[in-house]
Chain A
């Protein structure tokens, strides 16, 4: 008889999500290794597969599938934990969501494997993929909505059953994350359902390219916050418990999440700064709003350091930085996400630079950008997700994290970080020199500038190979914790508020207010540009398959 940290049926559902996540991760990691080696000039691909095909697979499986499945599985488990088990409705919604997402994923991946969708995870028109690629993407999004409805239902149920009480911080943050997701995916869903699907089936002849790009990036930036917010949940709620501390400030944590919902959406033009057809004034409006979304991350930085210092001092740390040595560095549940947090420092700084209007010209579409999001999502977020895996999987399977797996996990974290520093470092530097992203191995007819990049490509490939080893190790650890680790019980770490914490202001749970403000900001940033591009559409472009 095994004991799980949450009701067994809820645990099984979360594990189903995590299993798909790691399956996607494994395939994507292999694609990543091949890309790195091709671009480093180490190998050449056989005729039946091409670079852009595996690049599309890597981007879709890592960026959209691994993350979304992991996030929904994790959030559901925490909601079950903090609200005392899921209702039948939430449970069913979770499974319906899983099934739709799984089916959609299979459909899109099949078109990529058949080389009918080598269009990258951004699928910019007028390059046209198989219609089933877009249908699969739509199913993935709609499935995630079903799952999101189940989570929000759990939140509403808790509020109803506990009148006057603040909702559990974990559940509140999950609802904020899914609220952001609902608002953001409206953009990509409109693009796919109303533009790309009818167009790819041949029902309509034209596509408004610029409109499709605006709708995509309306979604594309909050997407990165959809990855980041679950990591922030782990940092705010789980890590303090692991290090023996308390939540630094419940109110500030909630405030940070509200700010993320408000400011991470009306900012998409900072991905389109180098683009024709959008006036420089509208771009500047988005630049200002983008820099506003830095504020919740500044809040988070302070809260994290404060949690560490407070806990360290409780353990008797002295001096200015004595607390730093008191942290449980040998506990992988802390170590992996902590490295992720530290890597968020250069990652976040890079983000501020990217969004800075004309400075974007220095790095736009260069390898710098790839280096940047491999620090944000592939290091800060992913190392946090790995850190979660070490306790989340055993908590859900009724097994334990053994000592040697803990040690292996620390090794995994080190391999991943060193690999990433090499790869991302090389990418950032090459980006400043102008090396393009999303490009097969080339020396541009032995151009001197392009040839000078080759040594850095090799460093990048070496880093990529290390990451692949780290990835394999992680999959091994997941499989072990899932099916082979000894039976037992591990805690599901949810930190409590400080004893003397002031009560959380009620206004923070006033969703009507926050969603209203979010809608206003979106209307301000996007209302006129989208109205204008629909009223005055640019000349249309015929569909093309150029791969």
Chain B
């Protein structure tokens, strides 16, 4: 099989570029902890309201400027529907679904995760800019999908 000299250079260049991408992603994930949301905890959809921490949805302070926001999703909303967040807080969003599959995304941040019934999912971000943010469902979940949202007020 004959490979043109230029083609060899091109494939080597392309291959090395892809390897470089993989290395950057690996460093970012494994040493900076920027893994995609991959929580392995489980909770039965019918038991969400009785299971901690989802039995008491809302913001919990867990450390200096560190918070957890436990926020179950359901057709077609999140609990709580509105939440104040202190400026500069690092917030871990924890969610699960009481029914079908939902999305959980905050435009302008990297918080973007799937909410699958039976599973818990988490994502963390820091709010350094004050203002109104919205949490929206970005996975089709039924007739009211486009109404499914919650408000975050950072101040």
Contact = CB atoms under 8 A, between A and B. Distances in A.
Contacts of A373: none
Interface in B129-153: 132-134, 136-147, 149, 151
A287 B25 contact: yes
B2 A249 contact: yes
Given A291-B22, A544-B99, A361 B1 contact: no
A276 B114 contact: yes
B119 interface: yes
B92 to A, nearest CB: 14
A539 B48 CA distance: 11
A272 B114 contact: yes
B117 interface: yes
B71 to A, nearest CB: 14
Interface residues of B, number: 70
B44 A252 contact: no
A306 B4 contact: yes
Interface in B38-89: 38-47, 75
Contacts of B101: 124, 126-127, 209
A406 interface: no
B148 to A, nearest CB: 9
A444 B146 CA distance: 8
B145 A439 contact: yes
Contacts of A436: 103, 105, 136-138
A277 B116 contact: yes
A274 B118 contact: no
A256 to B, nearest CB: 11
Contacts of A450: 134
B141 A546 contact: yes
Nearest to A442: B146
Interface residues of A, number: 72
A365 B100 contact: no
B138 A209 contact: no
B35 A358 contact: yes
Interface string B1-37: 1111011001100110010011001101100001111
A409 to B, nearest CB: 33
A173 B132 CA distance: 54
Cβ-closest 6 pairs across A and B = A434-B107, A546-B142, A436-B138, A539-B44, A276-B119, A538-B118
Given A52-B142, A357-B25, 11 more contacts: A127-B101, A276-B115, A284-B25, A288-B22, A298-B15, A361-B36, A442-B147, A449-B134, A546-B141, A547-B142, A547-B143
26 contacts: A126-B99, A126-B100, A210-B118, A252-B7, A272-B114, A276-B40, A276-B116, A276-B121, A280-B38, A283-B38, A287-B22, A287-B25, A291-B21, A358-B25, A361-B111, A361-B113, A435-B107, A436-B103, A438-B139, A438-B140, A440-B145, A441-B146, A447-B149, A542-B45, A542-B46, A546-B100
Interface of A: 50, 52, 120, 124, 126-127, 209-210, 213, 249, 251-252, 255, 272-280, 283-284, 287-288, 291-292, 294-295, 298-299, 302, 306, 352, 356-362, 364-366, 433-442, 444-445, 447-450, 502, 504-505, 538-542, 544, 546-547
